[in-house]
Amino acid sequence: MDESIPMQTAPETLRRATAAYIAPFLVFVSLLALEQGLGLNPLWAYPLRLALVLATLAAFSRPLLKFRFALPAASIGIGLLVFAVWVAPGILFHYRHHWLFENSLTHFGAGSLREGLRCNFGFLALRIAGSTLVVPVVEELFWRGWLMRWAIASDWREVPLGTYRASSFWLVALVFGSEHGRYWEVGLAAGVIYNWWLVRTKSLGDCVLAHAVTNLALGIYVVAAGQWQYWL
């Protein structure tokens, strides 16, 4: 895959290249905040959010979506490892109600799925499909495709994918973790693993694959075990 926009120096070209990586993420998180802030019914709000994000990907990011994989089997293993990291603390330990995880800053990490939707097969299938096929693409383009490079140089296109710089590596891991509310510590661990995998493979496709496997496994676990709190 060509995981970069052709190199040009014009500011307009840089803005377009940046939009290709960040616009889908901004649309996704803005609509999520609107959905939760207004208490909209996910039965129609979630499909609408997916549709608008897909439209944004098609409009801005299409050249970036021809993913190639350097180590696909290992990427699947990394995805399962992150899934285990995500759920193991809740299974083995019982510290989630500590104030470090339940406070005014992380309250939005509570499970958001309404009771009436927990038996709606169509909605659950769509939610798993969205978290597996759409969310990893949107997040990996933003976090590891763009931010991890932009934190190194303002013209991030000059920074090869997977370039290691401690400051950018840990910035992305920390902010990625904070995005996950009361699950910030396992979000941080996931961010570290995904960042490391990009440094190791130099392939955004492998990170998307690993992230997709994590989300698929988590979605199946959420529905099968009734652990709705993991769906933020």
In three-state form (DSSP H/G/I as H, E/B as E, the rest C), the secondary structure along 151-168 is CCCCCHHHCCCCCCCHHH
Residue type, 40: L
Provide the b/e sequence for 48-80 (b: ≥16 CB within 10 Å).
ebbeebbebbeebbeebeebebebeebbbebbe
In a domain, 144, yes or no: yes
In a domain, 168, yes or no: yes
**Quick check: 52 pLDDT over 80?**
yes
7-49 per-position pLDDT tens digit: 545 688 899 999 999 999 999 999 999 988 898 999 999 999 9
Residue 181: the pLDDT is 82
In a domain, 47, yes or no: no
The residue ranking higher by pLDDT, 159 or 2, is: 159
In a domain, 166, yes or no: yes
- Please, what is the average pLDDT of the chain? 90
In a domain, 11, yes or no: no
Residue 1: the pLDDT is 45
Residue 182: the pLDDT is 83
Residue 112: the pLDDT is 62
**Quick check: 108 pLDDT over 80?**
no
Is residue 218 within 8 A of residue 171, CB to CB? The reply is no
What is the average pLDDT across 40-69?
Answer: 95
In a domain, 119, yes or no: yes
Residue 39: the pLDDT is 87
**Quick check: 84 pLDDT over 90?**
yes
Whole domain around residue 226: which residue ranges?
69-230
What is the average pLDDT across 70-94?
Answer: 93
Enter the tokens of residue 205. 């496709």
In a domain, 44, yes or no: no
In a domain, 59, yes or no: no
Q: How many domains does the chain have?
A: 1
